[in-house]
Amino acid sequence: MIPAQFEYKSASSVQEALSMLGENDKILGGGHSLIPAMKLRLNMPEALIDISKIEKLKEITDNEATITIGAGATHASIAAHKALKNHAPMIAEAAGMIGDIQVRNRGTIGGSIAHADPSADWPAVLLAADAKIVIANATGSREVDVDQFFQGFYTTALEDNEIITAIRIPKSAANANSCYEKFVQPASRFAIVGCAAAVEKNGDSVSSARIAFSGVSDAPYRAKEVETALKGGDLSEEHLDMACAGVTSDVSVMSDHFASEKYRAHLATVYAKRALRRL
Ligand SMILES: Cc1cc2nc3c(=O)[nH]c(=O)nc-3n(C[C@H](O)[C@H](O)[C@H](O)COP(=O)(O)OP(=O)(O)OC[C@H]3O[C@@H](n4cnc5c(N)ncnc54)[C@H](O)[C@@H]3O)c2cc1C
**Tens digit of pLDDT for each residue in 33-61?**
999 999 999 999 999 999 999 999 999 99
Substitution candidate for ligand 1 out of 13, 109, 112, 113 with most atoms within 8 A of CB: 112
Q: Which of 186, 201, 40, 43 is nearest to 111 (CA)?
A: 43
Q: Which residues pair with 196 in a beta bridge?
A: 180, 212
Centre of ligand 1 to C-alpha 116, Å, is 8
| Ligand 1 closest atom vs CA 36 | 53
Is the pLDDT score of 170 beyond 90? yes
Q: What percent of the chain has pLDDT over 90?
A: 97
| DSSP reduced 3-state for 28 | strand
C-alpha torsion sign, points 158, 164, 167, 168: negative
Model confidence at 1, pLDDT cuts 50, 70, 90, reads confident
Average pLDDT of span 245-260 = 94
Substitution candidate for ligand 1 out of 102, 103, 119 with most atoms within 8 A of CB: 103
Q: Which helix (H) or strand (E) holds 73?
A: none
Nearby residues of 31 by Cβ (< 8 Å), 6 or more positions away: 52, 106, 111
176-278: CATH topology is Enolase-like; domain 1 (3.30.390)
Q: Which residues pair with 129 in a beta bridge?
A: none
Centre of ligand 1 to C-alpha 231, Å, is 35
CATH of the domain spanning 7-50: 3.30.43.10
| Ligand 1 closest atom vs CA 71 | 41
What is the model's pLDDT at position 34?
A: 97
CA torsion, ordered 13, 67, 76, 212, to nearest 10 deg: -110
Centre of ligand 1 to C-alpha 117, Å, is 9
Model confidence at 259, pLDDT cuts 50, 70, 90, reads very high
CATH of the domain spanning 55-170: 3.30.465.10
Model confidence at 240, pLDDT cuts 50, 70, 90, reads very high
CA 5, CA 10: separation in Å to the nearest integer?
A: 17
Nearest CA to ligand 1 atom 4: 99
| Ligand 1 closest atom vs CA 185 | 8
CA 202, CA 111: separation in Å to the nearest integer?
A: 37
Nearby residues of 249 by Cβ (< 8 Å), 6 or more positions away: 223, 225
Q: How many CB atoms lie within 10 A of CB 4?
A: 11
| DSSP reduced 3-state for 274 | helix
CA 68, CA 14: separation in Å to the nearest integer?
A: 16
Ligand 1: residues with CB < 6 A are 26-34, 51, 71, 98-99, 103, 107-108, 110-112, 114-115, 120-122, 158, 163-164, 188-190
Model confidence at 141, pLDDT cuts 50, 70, 90, reads very high
Average pLDDT of span 254-263 = 95
Average pLDDT value for the chain: 97
Q: In this structure, are residues 200 and 173 in contact, taking their beta carbons and an 8 Å threshold? A: yes
What is the model's pLDDT at position 7?
A: 97
What is the model's pLDDT at position 158?
A: 98
| Ligand 1 closest atom vs CA 72 | 41
Is the pLDDT score of 220 beyond 90? yes
| Ligand 1 closest atom vs CA 74 | 25
